[in-house]
């Protein structure tokens, strides 16, 4: 288990706002999607990961940041080579994330698709729970996982489904979505 003192974080600007990234010597531990301002993003990182020092990212982390920036600018950037440090994450969640990382930009899978690859469609809810706890959104592209019928399903990041749809639109992914009166 990586100790907090061994982890650092940095903020970086993207097309959807200021994101954050946390790393250890073993890889990326967390990505924070934007909150309304930098201070809230910084506070959320520390709430999730502890009192980390803000630092200049080393080369491998800088490369991951650059890839996320490119992806959120609409470039079909593959982030599957970004090294993650998921040692504190349950094995089932890691299995879900591994499959999600195979989804190319602009493409989608359903919770059921991932569940079937893990053993059966009855695991769909568990897949959704795992994705709801994804510590590394963008790198583990949980936004590319949809509900049955190509509907957006849920999204636990700030902005909810609207953020998910924005990220999918940037990538040019097709989503079966008709806003309700309550959106």
Question: How, if at all, do strands 8-14 and 53-54 pair?
Answer: parallel
Dig out the tokens for 41 from the structure.
Answer: 């993003």
Is 19 a catalytic site residue?
A: no
CB atoms within 10 A of CB 118: 18
- Give the C-alpha distances (Å, rounded to integers) separating 141 from 131, 168, 171, 180: 9, 10, 11, 25
Give CA angle at 111 (122, 87), nearest 5°.
Answer: 95
- Catalytic residue, candidates 7, 19, 136, 142: 142
d(CA 140, CA 170): 16
Dig out the tokens for 21 from the structure.
Answer: 């990234």
Q: Which residues are catalytic?
A: 142
């Amino acid at each position: 288990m990586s100790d907090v003192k061994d982890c650092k974080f940095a903020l970086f600007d993207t097309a959807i706002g200021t994101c954050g990234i946390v790393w250890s010597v073993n890889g990326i531990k967390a990505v924070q999607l934007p909150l309304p301002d930098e201070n809230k993003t910084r506070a959320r990182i520390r709430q999730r990961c502890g009192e980390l020092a803000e630092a200049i990212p080393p080369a491998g982390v800088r490369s991951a940041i650059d890839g996320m920036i490119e992806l959120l600018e609409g470039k079909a950037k593959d982030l599957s080579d970004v090294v993650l440090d998921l040692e504190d994450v349950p094995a089932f969640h890691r299995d879900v994330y591994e499959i999600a990382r195979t989804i190319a930009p602009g493409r989608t899978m359903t919770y059921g698709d991932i569940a079937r690859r893990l053993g059966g469609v009855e695991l769909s809810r568990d897949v959704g729970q795992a994705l709801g706890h994804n510590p590394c959104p963008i790198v583990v592209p949980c936004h590319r996982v949809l509900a049955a019928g190509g509907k957006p399903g849920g999204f636990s990041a700030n902005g909810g489904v609207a953020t998910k749809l924005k990220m999918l639109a940037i990538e040019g992914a097709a989503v079966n979505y008709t806003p309700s009166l309550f959106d």
